Structure 1
Amino acid sequence: MVDFLGGILVKTTLLLAVIAILIVVGVAVYYLLLAPTREVAAYPQKPITIYVPWSAGGGTDLTTRQVASYLQSKFGVQINVLNRVAGGGAATMYAGAKEKPDGYTLTAITIELNIFPHLGTSNITYSDFEPIAMLICNPATVAVKADSPWRTLDELLDYIKSHPGELKASGTAQAGVWDIARIGLLQAAGIDPEALPWVPSAGAAPAIQELLAGGVQVVFVGSGEIKPYKDAGQVRVLAIMSDSRIKGLEDVPTLKELGYDFAICGWAGLAAPKGTPSPIISKLAEAVKEAYNSQQFQSFLGERGFVGRLLLTEEYRKHLEQEYNLMKVLLEKAGYIKK
């Protein structure tokens, strides 16, 4: 009888132990699998911060703020746009890539992400991000003050060629997209890029202010960034580096019209740190797509002279990969890196 009761006790103890283990495993599975899924489904539950690597008032900043306004209304949480201008944009994009991959810190990435690694100024690439959406791809423009003596691009280029080093240009960081625009134009015109020295800036907005103050004589900036100053009669836009003329700047000739075979645009978009859950990326991408297609955003593009271009997630990633390899070739031609 004692052996019988003892056997039952042992079996009961084992059963209770098994039940306890199953409960522990069940709780673990819930927290490992189900709880995160519920958390993602409820995303976002707190404020989101978006790092902008360029100064306030530039194309990336203005575009990001437009989208942030839409997302804030849609999600019902605060969207904080934080301008962190450091290291010519490289330091900010690096910081954004290293944030916690939970969807609460995003980064406004730009074409410079595919430039910096080739120069050794940053050790992050597009592969350190989860792309959400490209929003704009603004063609470069060449502009001077409205009261400058150069009324056409050829007049300006002739002066640069005959007075090398006298004039200065600005637009963004050294080897940034607008600096590449300067080099591409001068090379297409058969002029040594050193004939028009580059003055690095924290973005298009401060570069334009430097132009108006007389610190530089030429700026290479995006179409949307220069349009308000053209409309105000403060600058003269001599050319645009696009395949065709664009809305809002219809009177500005393209380089190809003027006989120079070169075009370039500076894009901007949103990305999250690598490892951010794919459901969060998908949710953000869908919301950004809605923002892009909204009347408010499309009106913003038209009013500013920005050129919209929507690429989502994997399509955006493919673009980044292809452009990364192309930029290496362009930088070699520009003399910034040796073959």
Structure 2
Amino acid sequence: MPRQLAIAAASAAAALLALAAPAQAYPDRPITMVVPWGAGGGTDTLARTFSALLEEELGQPVNVVNRTGAGGVVGHSAIVTAEPDGYTLGIGTVELTGYEPLGQSDMTPASFTMLCRLASLPGSVTVRADSPHEDASALLEAIKAEPEGAYTSSGSGVGGAWHLAVAGWLNSEGVDPLKVRFVPSKGGAPALQDLVAGGINLFTGAPAEAKPLADAGQVKILAIMSPERIDPFPDTPTLGEATGTDWDYATWFGFVGPDGLPEDVRTSLIEAATNVFESEEFGYVHGEPRLHPRRRVRRGVRHVRGGRRDRRRRGHREARPRAVGAPARLASAGRADRYAREGP
């Protein structure tokens, strides 16, 4: 009996010590970053750059995993159904606003914890280097002259960002959007591979995705769907300059998690994501400084302390996170670019 009492007392003491011990600070183990699109594309490159810098902020590995399929539904589903503990997060894209209207999924932006908007990228009009069309105006006239389906385009899933880009452009020019057949893909990288191989005629994804192939002489970017020329492509006209259209279009990328993240975890992630977003290292992802005019945050001294990157601002207000906020506005493609430029 004394021995049993001793064991019971020891167990009770251990339990009390466990209760009294402080909880492990978040995060205390590696984090998975889910990317709903293929490796090598714009979303993937953005995610890997962001994740590498986020590791410095959080002091834990952030492992990127590509979960592709069904126009981004597979990857976004992996995020939204994950345990809301902060260890499975992901990159959300504008396609989130279209799944419910298109009947692809009941997911909406409200199904997620929106943490920070990371970037906005305009669309482009990109063709093979040996295309006979030297500008977007000539391409448009050829599309008008040919029968429906003679020209094909790709860059995302059906109803996705780059599908809306080409459909909106054609519609603004008075051309039936169905004149160009859209071929769904798992992202910009495979679509560009199809373009170079001759499987499609047109890519309407971000110029950042096409830039390496353009530099290699395999594709040419005829125009950019931005209201003004952008620094990385000073000699490439806007679509408005090329054809006279008033159409411009951009998509957004956000840092998201499953709904129901604990408030302390959410706060930590927003703070870390904000620091990454404001950094010069992330500001020049793809070699392109954020692509749309943004209010720049004045930065103070940054240093490393305790395994996390900290920063001090002298004489400035604490910067607020650029939350994704109400991305459902993007359900209307005509309002997408205003959101991408101005924020919520």
Q: Fold-level match, TM-score > 0.5?
A: yes
CA-CA distance at 1:313 after TM superposition: 6.3
2:207 is matched with which residue: 223, 228, 236?
223
* Residues in 2 aligned to 1:327 and 1:150: alpha-carbon distance in whole angstroms: 27
Deviates more, 1:136-145 or 1:280-289: 280-289
Letter in 2 for 1:299: Y
Letter in 1 for 2:55: Q
1:317 is matched with which residue: 292, 309, 325?
325
1:297 is matched with which residue: 261, 271, 282?
282
1:252 is matched with which residue: 228, 236, 259?
236
Q: Is the 8 A contact 1:49 1:80 kept in 2?
A: yes
CA-CA distance at 1:300 after TM superposition: 2.5
The 3 A distance-change label for structure 1 pair 306 and 233 is farther
Give unpaired runs (5+ residues) of structure 1: 1-22, 331-339
Q: TM-score, normalised by structure 2?
A: 0.80
Question: Match for residue 95 of structure 1?
Answer: 78
1:51 lines up with 2:58 in the alignment:
no
CA-CA distance at 1:263 after TM superposition: 1.2
The 3 A distance-change label for structure 1 pair 118 and 328 is farther
The 3 A distance-change label for structure 1 pair 126 and 313 is farther
CA-CA distance at 1:314 after TM superposition: 7.9
Runs of 4+ in 1 over 6 A off after TM superposition: 308-314
1:166 is matched with which residue: 150, 154, 163?
150
Letter in 1 for 2:163: D
Q: Is the 8 A contact 2:115 2:323 kept in 1?
A: no
Q: Is the 8 A contact 1:228 1:304 kept in 2?
A: no
1:114 is matched with which residue: 64, 85, 97?
97
Q: Is the 8 A contact 2:114 2:323 kept in 1?
A: no
* Residues in 1 aligned to 2:62 and 2:191: alpha-carbon distance in whole angstroms: 28
1:129 lines up with 2:129 in the alignment:
no
Q: Which has the larger radius of gyration?
A: 1
* Residues in 1 aligned to 2:95 and 2:288: alpha-carbon distance in whole angstroms: 22
1:204 lines up with 2:204 in the alignment:
no
Aligned length, in residue pairs: 296
1:270 lines up with 2:252 in the alignment:
no
Q: Is the 8 A contact 1:243 1:254 kept in 2?
A: yes
Deviates more, 1:205-214 or 1:187-196: 187-196
SS of 2:220's equivalent in the other structure is strand
Give unpaired runs (5+ residues) of structure 2: 1-11, 296-318, 337-344
CA-CA distance at 1:312 after TM superposition: 7.0
Letter in 2 for 1:209: Q
* Residues in 2 aligned to 1:231 and 1:263: alpha-carbon distance in whole angstroms: 24
SS of 1:227's equivalent in the other structure is helix
Question: Match for residue 179 of structure 2?
Answer: 195
Question: Match for residue 164 of structure 2?
Answer: 180
CA-CA distance at 1:322 after TM superposition: 2.6
Q: Is the 8 A contact 2:35 2:75 kept in 1?
A: yes
Percent sequence identity is 37
The 3 A distance-change label for structure 1 pair 313 and 297 is closer
Q: Is the 8 A contact 1:118 1:328 kept in 2?
A: no
Letter in 2 for 1:214: G
Deviates more, 1:60-69 or 1:290-299: 290-299
1:64 lines up with 2:47 in the alignment:
yes
* Residues in 2 aligned to 1:328 and 1:93: alpha-carbon distance in whole angstroms: 24
The 3 A distance-change label for structure 1 pair 312 and 161 is farther
* Residues in 2 aligned to 1:328 and 1:154: alpha-carbon distance in whole angstroms: 21
Deviates more, 1:92-101 or 1:206-215: 92-101
* Residues in 2 aligned to 1:294 and 1:329: alpha-carbon distance in whole angstroms: 28
Letter in 1 for 2:170: L
Give the helix-richer structure, 1 or 2.
1
Q: TM-score, normalised by structure 1?
A: 0.81
Q: Over residues 167-190 of structure 1, what are the superposed CA-to-partner deviations in whole Å (9 max), with x where a residue is unaligned?
A: 211111111110001101111111
